[in-house]
Structures are given as C-alpha cells and as structure tokens.
Structure 1
Amino acid sequence: MMNSKWIKAKSDKRAEMGVGTMIIFIAMVLVAAVAASVIISTANSVREQAESTGSDAVNNIASGFKVQDVVGEIKSNKMVNITIYMRLSAGSPNINMDNVMVSVTTSDNSNYLSLDPSDRDTPVANTTYGFTKTLDVQKYDEWVLGQGDLAKITITGLSIGFNQQVIIKIIPAYGQMSLVTFTTPEQYSSQFITLS
C-alpha cells in the first residue's frame, strides 16, 4: 500500500501569490509605459505649437514699415499725388506688397487700395497704388520688400485742397500697421511739398 503522505499535495500557496504579484507589477509597468508615451507625445505637440506661436508673435510684432518721407504733388492748387518713401522696420521679415493694403482717408473721401502686381507702375485712382523699389539690396521679386531695400508707394487720382487732414494707413497681411497723418498747408508754394 502506498503511503498517503506522499500522495497528498502541500497546501502552501505562497507561489500562487508570487505569480499574482508579478502579473500586477507587469501590468503597472505597461500602464506607466503607455502613460509616458502619451505625455511625451503631448509635450512634443505643445513644443511645436509654442514654436509656431512664437514665430507668429515675432512676425506680428516686428513686421511692418518705417516711413522715411512723404511728398505731395500739386497741380492747379490741389494735391493730386502722394508718394511715400519707406523701408522695412528693423527685424521685419520680407513683405510681399501684393498682400499689403493702403487706406487713404480725407475729409471728402476714403478708399482702400491694393497693388496690381501685373501693372504696379501705373496705379488706378481709388483702386490701386503704385510700388517701385528705389534701392533693391536683396534682389527679391519686384514686389517683395526685403531688409535694406528702399521703396516708394504712389497714390494717384487725389484732389486734396488746402488745410485738410489726410490719414494714410499701410496695412500688411500680418504685423504692425504704419500710420501717416498730416494736414495740408494753407497754401501750396511749389509743385512738390514734403508732408511729414
């Protein structure tokens, strides 16, 4: 007959508890790895968005024009043309003038003008402005203004009399608007007068 001691299994369950603990530990490591992956992915996304926002902020703050001079042309005691000489503000990226609007407001009239790149030398009164580079340092396309370039905007078809306030806004697609304001003199003494 067999000894019953040898057939009886031990009632020690410590090994089963060790396997359960190991399964829970592995599950926790897997959950932590997935959470770390999500956190790293989110951090990369936030970093890219912050870089994009920073670049947009720099463009919005630094972009724009510095007006050097404003000259009016007089015919028959009326200011008929205004020429604005300008360059980019310090730190401004290149600006495509095709994306720039010019607003001209007088006591009699208010117009928004755009650039016609196909005929930028011949502005149409109350519709388009003329644009010419007077110094082309960067050698970009004819209507792209870069650092160091000098340019002039020509506004035609005006009829501004004596002692009138004129407000001109040069508005790029993004960045700072340039504001030119002046009051015409009480009499015009020559064909060309400096206004600002």
Structure 2
Amino acid sequence: MMSYIRGKKGAMGIGTLIVFIAMVLVAAVAAAVLINTSGFLQQKAMATGKQSTEQVASGLYIKEIQGRYNTTNQISQLAIFITPNAGSAPIDLSQVKIQISNGTKTLILTYNSSFYSDNTSGTSDIFDVPTTANSSWALSNGTAITAYLPANNFGIIVLQDADGSCKANTPVIDSGDLVVLTINTGLNTVNLGLAPRTQVTGSVIPEFGAPAVISFVTPATYVLNSNTKDGVVTLQ
C-alpha cells in the first residue's frame, strides 16, 4: 500500500512539473512579445516625435515682398525675400510650391533651375534683366533675351548663403540663408493682372513645416518716375 501511494505521488509530481514548465515557457514567450512590442513602440514614438518637432519648428518666413511696376501701370516683377524660421531644419526649395491669387486667377508655381543667380557678392538691382548673361528673370544667348521666366515657374536669387548649400540644382537653405523667389507677373506676355488696388493672397509652401503667408494690396497708384511708370514698391 505504501509503495502504491509513493508511486501516485511521483506521478502527480511529474504532472505538476510539466504544468510548471509550460507556464514558464508561456511566460517567457509573453515576455519576449512584450519586450519586442515595447521596443518597436519606443522607436516609433521617437521617430514620430522627431517628425512632429520638425514639422512644428520648421518652415519659411517672408521678410519682405517687393514689386517692380512699369509703363503698363501694373507690377511686372515680384520678389519674395524668404529665410528659414528660427530652429528650422534645412529646406529644399526645389520642392517648394508658391500659390498666388489676384482674386480672378490662381497660379501654382514650381522652381525652374534654369532661372537661378548667385548674388552673394552683392547686386545693384535684383530686378535687372540683362541680355548678356542668364538671370533669375530671363535667359539670353549673350546678346539678346531668348526666354522669360514662365508664368508657372519661379526663380531664385541667392543673397546670403554662408555654407554654399543653395545651388541651382540643389537649392537647399538653412539657418541664416536669405534668398529671393522671383515671379514674372508682367514681363513679356505674362500677365497676372497686378493693377492698382489689387488684393493678392497666397502662400509659399515648403515640403514640410509651416508655409509663409502672402497677403497684400497693391498701391492705389504707381508713382511716376522720370515721366514713366517704372519703379519699385514694397508690398509686404
């Protein structure tokens, strides 16, 4: 009888051991799943936090908008002075879109690398359209203009770029850089219709980050200069 009882206790102990081992294995698998999941979630949260911070902190800031008017009594060239926001990540201007409207038509402009000029050494007139060299407003063959900046494109004039990051094919701006985005509103056959008292709205939209807002009303009249309506006015 005693031998039988001891045999039954041994069988019960083996069953308990099997259950215990199974519980340990299940706990180990569960722990591994939890550790892997928590690690994935941590990395995802860090990446999301970085992207959110970049989205909030980055963006463009418009320092000034100037326009040049001519004998047509309309603004023929628009220059938007932009710089990155404080703390912004580098911004690729080739991915920037400019949306601008005069209340009648809305244009969406993209960057055209053919209309680029580096004026970091200084310039006498950013609105100059030379016939002896390419500029941000027109192309030339050395003696005459061959093409004007298209209505659906904008050009770039680099005014300040300490690290040389803003090139024609890779126009990336970072902290401290200052560039001009050029828009043809009346040169040659292009006509956005920026006559006096025109309400202009829009934005400069980067690939990520906050867009820069365009909002101004053109002057009530364009002041005569040497008996011709030709001059520069600050719009915003």
Give the TM-score of the pair, scaled to structure 1.
0.90
Aligned to 1:44: 39
4+ residue segments displaced more than 3 Å: none
Deviations 1:106-158 (A, max 9, x none): 03321000002244334723210011221002322411011111111111134
Identical counterparts, % of pairs: 30
2:233 maps to 1:193 = yes
Check whether the contact 2:55–2:210 (CA below 8 A) recurs between aligned residues. Answer: yes
The correspondence of residues 41-190 of structure 1 with structure 2, limited to 5 A, is 41-76=36-71, 77-120=73-116, 121-122=136-137, 124-142=149-167, 143-158=171-186, 159-189=193-223
2:6 maps to 1:15 = no
Separation in 1 of the partners of 2:200 and 2:43?
Answer: 44
Separation in 1 of the partners of 2:157 and 2:43?
Answer: 38
Deviations 1:75-107 (A, max 9, x none): 012111110111100111001101000011003
Unmatched runs of 5 consecutive residues or more in structure 1: 1-7
Check whether the contact 1:72–1:83 (CA below 8 A) recurs between aligned residues. Answer: yes
Separation in 2 of the partners of 1:34 and 1:155?
Answer: 63
Separation in 1 of the partners of 2:32 and 2:97?
Answer: 47
Separation in 2 of the partners of 1:55 and 1:31?
Answer: 36
TM-fit CA distance, 1:20: 1.3
TM-fit CA distance, 1:64: 0.9
Separation in 2 of the partners of 1:24 and 1:108?
Answer: 79
Cα 1:187–1:115 change in 2 (3 A) is same
Deviations 1:29-76 (A, max 9, x none): 110000000001111111111112112211221121111111110101
Structure label with greater radius of gyration: 1
Superposed CA RMSD in Å reads 1.7
The count of aligned residue pairs is: 189
Unmatched runs of 5 consecutive residues or more in structure 2: 117-135, 138-147, 187-192, 226-230
SS in 2 for 1:59: helix
